[in-house]
Structure 1
Amino acid sequence: MKLKLHIVFCITLGVFISCERKPQEAKTTPKMKKKAIVYQVFTRLFGNTNTTNKPWGTIEENGVGKFADFTEEALREIKDLGITHIWYTGVPHHALINDYTAYGISNDDPDVVKGRAGSPYAVKDYYNVNPDLAQDPTKRLQEFKALVERTHAAGMKVIIDIVPNHVARNYEGLTNPEGIQDFGETDQVGQEYQVDNNFYYIPDTPFEVPQWEEGYLPLGGEAHQLADSAFQENPAKWTGNGSRLARPNFSDWYETVKVNYGVRPDGGKDFDELPDGFDAKGPKDHFEFWQDKQVPNSWDKFKDIALYWLDLGVDGFRYDMAEMVPVEFWSYLNSHIKAKNPEAFLLAEVYNPGLYRDYIHKGKMDYLYDKVELYDSIKHIMKGYGWTDHIPVVQKGMADIEHHMLHFLENHDEQRIASPEFAGKSELGKPAMVVSATLSTSPTMIYFGQEVGEPGAEDAGFGKPSRTSIFDYIGVPHHQRWVNERKFDGGQLSDDEKALRDFYKRLLNFTSTSEALMGDYQEIHFYNKEHTTGYDHRVLSFVRWSKDEQLIIVSNFDAGESYDFELKLPPDVVDKWKLGKDVYQLKDALYNRVDANLSVKNGIGYFKVQLDPLESFIFQVGK
């Protein structure tokens, strides 16, 4: 989930640059020896082979995937794609429209549920999993544990969502461990704010559902006993995105309520702040700092939730809208997680570049989305009006934290590359994916279906085309052709879709094993723009290297034009690489199809490059 408004970039002479930042200390050194590759999968959609795709269709009409669909065969194929971590999206039990009262689960009100299958970011019970995903809802937690075990057996780590900023309006923990109280159970509801209340309240005022926008009536206007434009909540609570209206707007996150972390309505804080210099200290010091501190009740509730999932075998978390929660809480939570599992993978959704370093260094996040700077720049280039000149500038601005900025081209919030509203063709993502995956030491993430060109064209109901719906029961057609009736062999894919998946497989397997991609980086783009005839802003080049591997990466973002030029290695790169011979053989690591010779003359490297439209090369320099 993300806000509709983002940060305004600094602009000079019409060209995007990173805003000026305070001087930083030395660049962070990656702990990992190889790049992490994350596969985000929307769990309820992955194994659904139903192709009906009726707008607002029920679970019986449109089908739903299960934990059990992630078979050993499916997981092996995901692993063979080059994946190291699977982010199973939508695992915790969230509000949805399906009758599970036979299992002791209360029905959810369509007036405060988005779509029919519900938002995975409106969690209803943090100590259990979505019953839709289980073959037997009475054993849903056991089925999830079995999935964790299968994923580990396949050689991959498991990530799930935690959404600390908000919970479903009708939160109801049915399976809390002994001693765990529900959110709001002990709140003093007559006060707008009290430090240990879990929610904020609008005293003496009942909640009212939003005024529905055209086309967004609950369940598409279908009659339902609970769809009566009313939801009992008195007094009303603040809405998840911070709205203090008893009747939130339709554009607000009306299906959720905001969690109170000890931040007063006027912005004051009722908790200790980190001392100066703690941004340079590790998780152990942060953990020890909080041991004798009194923290708000909501902090402890989410700490208990995270440790609970770690006990079930989960290896890490993706945090929704982390910047809406105070950074001190993240210091508290993440240091407790690292005390239990030092290798836990902690990824956060933060969109304000001005907060990146605080959430990394003070909040002890491992990784943040590189959305507002790198993704947005690459998206503009893919759409035809951005310049590759932006990318080296962005990367320079991130130099001290580049390892922490996870790269992606698709996720559940963003448009599919192949959708007409974005690029319109999945092939336009190929040079962008090469750059995204090889530019830094940071992890790379892809979204299920991206590797076969899924366009997100279905009108699912609440979720509209260009993004695969996260709110409704739906099938994902291109992905379903790869699933091939759960054979997971791509048997129904077209030749173009097979070729695209082969490209992703080659690229991700290379990036997850290359030592150079965990080493040093230098752009050679601007040197070549100045010194190379025929090289322009639709091409990008940079180098990566380690002690034993040297790479020259060059990509053509133009869909219609080929390029033929003599690429140059600047003198400082030749010197750093100690290129003392006259000629070195170059081999393309993607397809092993092109050999070229790098000539070194007068301290400058030269070699001929012929780039077809949307083509990239990852040249390895021979010894």
Structure 2
Amino acid sequence: MLTRQIHRIVSLTITVVMVMGCQQSPEQNVTTPTRDAEQNAQQNKVIIYQVFTRLFGNTNTTNKPWGTIEENGVGKFADFSPKALNEIRKLGVSHVWYTGVPHHASVTDYSAFGIQPDDPDVVKGRAGSPYAVRDYYNVDPDLAVDPTRRLAEFEALIQRTHDAGLKVIIDIVPNHVARRYESLTRPETTFGIHDDTTVTYHKNNNFYYLPGEKFEIPDFTSQTEPLGGEAHPLVDGEFDEFPARWTGNGASKAKPDVNDWYETVKINYGVSPGSVNAFPAFPDSLSSDATLQQHANFWRGKTVPDSWIKFRDIALYWLDKGVDGFRYDMAEMVPVAFWSYLNSAIKQVNPDALLLAEVYQPALYRDYIHLGKMDYLYDKVDFYDSLKRIMQGNGNVSALDNIQQQYADIAPHMLHFLENHDEQRIASQNFAGDPLKGKPALVVSALISASPMLIYFGQEVGEDGSEALGFGQPTRTSIFDYGGVPAHQRWMNNGAFDGGALSEDEAALRDYYFRVLNIARTHPVASSGEYRSLQCTMLVDGMSDDPFVFAFQRHTESAQLISVSNFYSEKAVEVTLTVPDITQLDDSQRGAAIFTDLLSDTTHASHKIGGKRIIQLKLEPLQSVILSR
């Protein structure tokens, strides 16, 4: 029996070499950390848990379309109990990204607390977009048990988060603010109060203007109509803004289109409408390997536009409150030079601050990392988009290997995710229709490189985002409306945070996330080491180049992982894998070596035949193995 098995292995090994003809050199497959990544290397991988703060603790299950805060309920800072935070940490998480913390525009009336009501004509939804910030020096009153103490309640949450062994990330939205931005906490910092509104542009104006023109409300559709058509004293088709200002997405017209970011106003960073910069250019000394200190030294004493100073002061204010990092919304719409100025200033105060940017243009990635001094960028365009197509059954896993090699030099800087507040839920019908289809993608995303991994709350229990809550549409959990998140609420179990109301399938899915994320968080090769593709040394059901089975190796001198994932949802596969030996790991050049699957605790024997090590596996639909020695 053993002799027959060995002959089969030898035969399959020869077939691999003959069919594939694809012996790539290690240099083509190695993920090499950049200088900054090496200097800032952490012992464990960064795992970020994004929570939409307003929704996380809400136990109300009404979910009435366009429901008020009283009808649909709202979560509070206080809902993040020590128990809740400890359960998040045990999932393998290192950082919590509290989305929607800064005070943003909302239709809910807080005038009793001295907060001027917002006009529904320039608010999306009833709860409002968290990316239409109206006061950067305070937090959203929705989130506080006592709105008069809302900042103190958030400071207490920061302390509870730290006590749980977690770090805190919040949003900074540098490209735009709410149309009615007014800081009640620090009135002297309000954007635009010193602007010259008689001109379209001045380098120290915070906004761009349309002199002599009055702002006009866009022509709404039935879907975007304020409050879903409900009567309201302020829904009158008017908003007092003269002169009109450019809209957040750069629309330079007094009457923006309904598809523009009409609820926001674009910030001016000293870039004229003709794209002339009113700030110093990068000198040659600030090349790709310049240090943060060199960047900070360059900006010291330089004259920069007023908006730069305002956002620097905002970031430093939150660092002083104990915040450990920032997620920058639409960072690519703001000059790279500003990020050099801001991020080097932040790192002078907190060298360990985590700086994550939303950038969607791959051609800009290296500039925002090397010159803008970002720690991490979204790996959406290319990696996430490719994974989504594969999960939907119309992609090819070869794209993942190509992307990994294309971005090998910056791979540790690229944040991986399968869901966030902008993207469709995996379980939604417009994405995969089944949360289990995210399982192999989770393994690949979490382990293919040293990059951080982001999980969106509810993802780990299969939330499908099917609620139609008003302005926000199903498939994405709404960020504009009041509501509850059903699968997440079952895990929350009325504040027990023990998963007691989850279905058996939901609990099993969460356990799978627990296993994968903790492997990614703690295994020695997950946050360092080299990547090597195994696509060229693999047969699937005796054939090469299978579009839905993906294999790779990660290794250091003392440890290795081999990951093989089957993206087929209804097909089991037989895999024969030729694995390169890591010399330091091998006690013998002959005989079997035993690998353990860290997901199932089962063992798999490999055999050294003709100088090659062979592993045979059977993978069930959507199964992955993570093999370690």
Equivalent residue, structure 2, for 1:514: 523
Equivalent residue, structure 2, for 1:355: 364
> Is 1:194 matched with 2:202?
yes
> Is 1:135 matched with 2:141?
no
> Is 1:329 matched with 2:338?
yes
Equivalent residue, structure 1, for 2:489: 480
> Is 1:390 matched with 2:399?
yes
Between the aligned partners of 1:555 and 1:201, the Cα distance in structure 2 is: 53
Q: 1:606 aligns with which of 579, 598, 614?
A: 614
Between the aligned partners of 1:266 and 1:533, the Cα distance in structure 2 is: 56
Q: Percent identity?
A: 58
Q: 1:63 aligns with which of 73, 82, 88?
A: 73
Equivalent residue, structure 1, for 2:91: 81
Quote how far apart the aligned CAs of 1:277 are.
4.1
Between the aligned partners of 1:347 and 1:438, the Cα distance in structure 2 is: 19
Contact 2:457 2:488 in 1 (8 A): yes
Contact 1:559 1:613 in 2 (8 A): yes
Q: CA RMSD in A?
A: 1.5
Opposite residue 367 of structure 1, the aligned amino acid is: Y
Go from structure 1 to structure 2 and tell me whether the alpha carbon gap of 1:184 and 1:389 turns closer, same or farther (over 3 Å shift).
same
Quote how far apart the aligned CAs of 1:314 are.
0.1
Contact 1:53 1:460 in 2 (8 A): yes
Between the aligned partners of 1:109 and 1:343, the Cα distance in structure 2 is: 40
Between the aligned partners of 1:353 and 1:529, the Cα distance in structure 2 is: 32
| CA distances 1:413-463 after superposition (whole Å, capped 9, x unpaired) | 000000000000000000000000000001000000000000000001000
Equivalent residue, structure 2, for 1:417: 426
Give the ranges of 4+ consecutive aligned residues of structure 1 lying more than 6 Å apart after TM superposition: none
Opposite residue 313 of structure 1, the aligned amino acid is: G
Between the aligned partners of 2:196 and 2:389, the Cα distance in structure 1 is: 49
Between the aligned partners of 1:617 and 1:26, the Cα distance in structure 2 is: 26
Secondary structure at 1:512's aligned position in 2?
helix
Opposite residue 320 of structure 1, the aligned amino acid is: D
Between the aligned partners of 1:296 and 1:574, the Cα distance in structure 2 is: 54
Equivalent residue, structure 2, for 1:4: none
Within 5 Å, give how 1:471-550 maps onto structure 2: 471-517=480-526, 518-528=528-538, 533=543, 536-550=546-560
Task: Give the TM-score of the pair, scaled to structure 1.
Answer: 0.93
Equivalent residue, structure 1, for 2:111: 101
> Is 1:53 matched with 2:70?
no
Opposite residue 568 of structure 1, the aligned amino acid is: T
Quote how far apart the aligned CAs of 1:26 are.
7.2
Contact 2:33 2:409 in 1 (8 A): yes
Secondary structure at 1:509's aligned position in 2?
helix
Within 5 Å, give how 1:132-171 maps onto structure 2: 132-171=142-181
Contact 1:575 1:603 in 2 (8 A): no
Between the aligned partners of 2:313 and 2:542, the Cα distance in structure 1 is: 58
Contact 2:296 2:344 in 1 (8 A): yes
Contact 1:589 1:618 in 2 (8 A): yes
Opposite residue 353 of structure 1, the aligned amino acid is: P
Secondary structure at 1:44's aligned position in 2?
helix
Equivalent residue, structure 2, for 1:226: 234
Between the aligned partners of 1:424 and 1:500, the Cα distance in structure 2 is: 15
| CA distances 1:524-551 after superposition (whole Å, capped 9, x unpaired) | 1123259954772210000011232211
Equivalent residue, structure 1, for 2:10: none
Opposite residue 176 of structure 1, the aligned amino acid is: R
Equivalent residue, structure 1, for 2:217: 209
Within 5 Å, give how 1:213-612 maps onto structure 2: 213-278=221-286, 279-517=288-526, 518-528=528-538, 533=543, 536-570=546-580, 573-574=581-582, 580-592=589-601, 594-612=602-620
Go from structure 1 to structure 2 and tell me whether the alpha carbon gap of 1:574 and 1:146 turns closer, same or farther (over 3 Å shift).
closer
Between the aligned partners of 1:585 and 1:236, the Cα distance in structure 2 is: 69
Between the aligned partners of 2:558 and 2:423, the Cα distance in structure 1 is: 37
Contact 1:125 1:173 in 2 (8 A): yes
Contact 1:27 1:399 in 2 (8 A): no
| CA distances 1:370-415 after superposition (whole Å, capped 9, x unpaired) | 0001000000000000011110000000100000000000000000
Contact 1:79 1:156 in 2 (8 A): yes
| CA distances 1:349-377 after superposition (whole Å, capped 9, x unpaired) | 00000000000000000000000010000
Opposite residue 579 of structure 2, the aligned amino acid is: L
Quote how far apart the aligned CAs of 1:581 are.
4.1
Between 1:596-605 and 1:220-229, the stretch displaced more is: 596-605
Between the aligned partners of 1:452 and 1:557, the Cα distance in structure 2 is: 19
Between the aligned partners of 1:375 and 1:470, the Cα distance in structure 2 is: 21
Task: Give the TM-score of the pair, scaled to structure 2.
Answer: 0.92
Between the aligned partners of 1:107 and 1:619, the Cα distance in structure 2 is: 57
Quote how far apart the aligned CAs of 1:608 are.
1.4
Between the aligned partners of 1:554 and 1:392, the Cα distance in structure 2 is: 13
Opposite residue 76 of structure 1, the aligned amino acid is: N
Equivalent residue, structure 1, for 2:7: none
Opposite residue 84 of structure 1, the aligned amino acid is: S
Quote how far apart the aligned CAs of 1:297 are.
0.1
Between the aligned partners of 1:121 and 1:551, the Cα distance in structure 2 is: 40
Contact 2:538 2:544 in 1 (8 A): no
Between the aligned partners of 1:499 and 1:423, the Cα distance in structure 2 is: 18
Go from structure 1 to structure 2 and tell me whether the alpha carbon gap of 1:607 and 1:25 turns closer, same or farther (over 3 Å shift).
closer
Between 1:518-527 and 1:70-79, the stretch displaced more is: 518-527
Contact 2:174 2:331 in 1 (8 A): yes
Within 5 Å, give how 1:112-127 maps onto structure 2: 112-127=122-137
Contact 2:540 2:549 in 1 (8 A): no
Secondary structure at 2:538's aligned position in 1?
helix
Quote how far apart the aligned CAs of 1:215 are.
2.2
Secondary structure at 1:269's aligned position in 2?
coil
| CA distances 1:573-620 after superposition (whole Å, capped 9, x unpaired) | 45585563422111011121x211111122211011010000000001
Quote how far apart the aligned CAs of 1:345 are.
0.2
Q: Which runs of 5 or more residues in structure 1 are unaligned? A: 1-23
Between the aligned partners of 1:335 and 1:582, the Cα distance in structure 2 is: 54
